[in-house]
Amino acid sequence: MNGQAKARNLLRETTTYSAEETIAFGSTLVELMTPPKMVLLRGDLGAGKTTLVKGIAAAFEAAAEEDVTSPTFTLVHEYRGPRANLYHIDLYRIDTPRELETLGLDDLRSENSVLLIEWGEKFPRLEWDVEVHLERAGESGRRIRISG
Ligand SMILES: Nc1ncnc2c1ncn2[C@@H]1O[C@H](COP(=O)(O)OP(=O)(O)OP(=O)(O)O)[C@@H](O)[C@H]1O
Ligand SMILES: [Mg+2]
């Protein structure tokens, strides 16, 4: 069984209608994301993956919403909180398994770590504890499903 098949039980499901609602939903996910965790954030460009992380990071008291920005160019953003070190990672610009190795994700994994990874499904070798799937439902609707 590969990593993407491992995260299989539907844990939470909702539809949000604004970025604010997605942030608020993200802030309810702390219990599902107690470290250590590898979390796949799956969804198209603009689906709301980074927006959801704003809520998660705020609820972990690791960063203010407005300080969470897309790691598109920096690839890894680190937010340290009292209960977890969050690593928000964007693999959109990573194309080969070798580039992935260079990022050193394995070195970030620890008892205190939650890795929140956008575009992680590009790399089947990665294994997930939790998978978050965001899908557009109209202009501002986003169906969000969490499995683990
Ligand atoms: N219900 C909603 N939930 C989240 N974002 C929404 C919603 N409705 C509209 N938006 C808008 O959609 C955009 C989501 O952008 P965001 O950067 O979170 O997406 P992303 O999935 O991280 O994309 P990328 O793959 O480019 O990193 C924002 O501009 C946000 O304001
Ligand atoms: Mg993003």
At a CB cut-off of 8 Å and minimum separation 6, what does 7 contact? Answer: 40, 128, 129, 130, 131, 147, 148
For the Cβ of 50 lying below 6 angstroms from any atom of ligand 1, the answer is yes
Three-state secondary structure call for residue 49: helix
Per-residue pLDDT at 88 exceeds 50: yes
Task: Record the pTM.
Answer: 0.95
Q: What is the structure's pLDDT at 146? A: 98
Residue 7: pLDDT band (50, 70, 90) is low
Of 36, 46, 49, 39, the C-alpha closest to 11 is 39
Ligand whose nearest atom lies closest to the CA of 19: 1
**Does the beta carbon of 19 lie inside 6 Å of ligand 1?**
yes
Which parts of the chain are beta strand (E)? 10-16, 37-42, 76-80, 85-90, 113-118, 130-137, 141-147
Q: How big is the CA angle at 80 (ends 78 and 84), to the nearest 5 degrees?
A: 110
